[in-house]
Structure 1
Amino acid sequence: MCRLFALTSRDPISPMRAIDALNVMKEGHDGSGVGLYLNGLSGPFEELKDCPILSGIFTEAGLRRLDQYIMDKGFKSKFSILYTPHTPPPVGTPVRGTYAAIAYSVPRGWEDMTEAEQGVRLVQMRLDLKKMGEETGDMMVFSFWPDTIVIKEVGDPLEIGQYLLLDRNKDIYARRILAQGRQNTNYAINLYACHPFFIEGVASMTNGENTAFLPIKEYLESRNITGYSGYQSDSEVFTHIAHYATKKLGLDIRAYKHIITPLSDGELAHHPDREFLTDLKRTCRKLIIDGPNCVIGCLPGGRMFMTQDRKKFRPGIVGGKDGIFGFSSEVCGLNAAIPDRDKSKDFQPMHLDTAIVGPDCKEIIQCSQTDQLPRQL
């Protein structure tokens, strides 16, 4: 079983704060892996927030091939963090090469493209580099997007965080952090199967098992959308459904729950949006999940959310104070990260709920599927 912890903060904070919360929940994960999504970055990356950042792990040969590929595309490096450990890795962690996060300026002509066109180009470049690395084993690429770093590694989360010196480099402090403890349980250990997953500014991680994976995967692949491919984890589709709902259908994240766990026909009969939701249920019926699942995600613009399936066998809790909020698999993780919050205001989403915290980090917005959807969709 996985454990999830996420932080959204008005000010940049160390990713080790999220990892420490995972460590408190260690009885619920086996310490076989960790994944981090960092957004709202500080330092030089914040000054280059419109420049795409490539994050991954490379051998020396892989870095040379990366440089050649990037140069051929007309990109130029503006700032980078390249860390090559010189100490033995934690037990169970392979010896790698260089962990990298590199911000690039885009080539001439990109300013004439729409945001959607630029997004497709960046996703395709990430896929190209991933394929190149899979062919030779010299690079693993997890993200290529502005204001975003994704870190994944095999091993105990706390030991990996210390090994990579995540508490010492303020240039990777972030305002939004997703952290997952343990590798995917249904596949061989593979860093691409490690949560969180990411596409075009949308990131998510899941605790549970997606037994409806195959029909969802087949539906997404049939959309002919760049990036809807690979699927080395049954949880990656949750990210792509959120992307599909918000980026392709233009819906608010409140509608995400109506796609993955739609209301029954009886419940819809008296809903203020019954016509729209009935059409949405019929159109997206192949995206209905069969849990148990708890999903925590982050959207372009900085909103963070938590929602669950109807079985609710994977609980979650949201709490915090003005300026910082946490999303956690267990209350002990939340207590460790934000001990001085008003615990009476904590919220545990039930089977109809979505919890949302905006980038202002002022409050928890509680949404129910029985509510009328916002008019701006």
Structure 2
Amino acid sequence: MIILGLESSCDDCSAAVVEETPAGPVVRSLVRESQDAIHGPFGGVVPELAARGHLLQVRSVIAGALAEAGVGLRDLDRIAVTRGPGLVGSLLATFSASKAVAWRHGIPWVGVHHLLGHLNAARFSAPDLAFPALVLLVSGGHTHLYLAQGWTSLHLLQKTRDDAAGEAFDKTARMLNLGYPGGPLVDACARAATRAAEPFTPPRFRDGKASWSFSGLKTGVKLRVERNPRLAEAGATDADVQGLCRSLQEAISAWLLKPIPDLAQEHGACSLIISGGVACNSRLRADAATMAARQGLRLALPEPRLCTDNGAMIAAAGALLAADSEPWSQNADADLKLGA
């Protein structure tokens, strides 16, 4: 089966051609147009600018993915596209284009939940993964832990009580004037540090659970910058800035992984999947490998280009779902629920 996957739920416009084989999905092509230069001056995604950018990018990414894979529209067995959740203006760019192409050429079409896409990003490297699995999906908009019984099901176990982990990276980079997007920049600074700054205090909750909260972490960074304004001017080569980034990165990694051992035992999990943009973080990947080995869990980490939003993960998920019998009545949904 040859699937064209399309994704534009936020600020990346991506198309990919994936071949579903008996051994698992294979990426035949992957094209991704970033909007970092557009949103960088604002320190975050501007929804209207993102939507307009996707309208200019969607034709070129589709054409680029087909050309790179060496296939034409007549060779496609299916088109899969992100239906939601996300920014509705951004979603509509590839959603509308995919339905138009599917209608014009008579190609089966399927709408995919964005988080099922992130789950299936792990299928490229671990198609034979054992279930049940714990699934940590962590990005600028999501910090959720799920239990999966297969590649098309996610049952929510817990999520952040306020901000997403990826937002802490972006806001820290903004406060330190490192640039945008913040995750890769903070990671680079942290890896260059010779020592960590004072550790951040982990959140504590009245119910005693190992839950997540990242609003206080952002406040902690803000207070440190206010006490030492030079941090906002020193730049990425400064030892104090690097130490602060290292402490932040260590805190986020430790906090994200803390609930996993107990929940793995409680639910009899065999495996751990970590996906989403924050899964590119070097400290989280290293700490997760150590923890998974200690707990006897098989770890599935997509390669970095498949952790961030991309068309390949949507194609991989779309290959396992039933094609919509009446796709023309479907619409993008900014708040799409799993199972909808």
TM (norm. structure 2) is 0.29
- Higher RCO, 1 vs 2 (CA within 8 Å, ≥6 residues apart): 2
Greater share of helix? 2
Greater share of strand? 1
TM (norm. structure 1) is 0.27
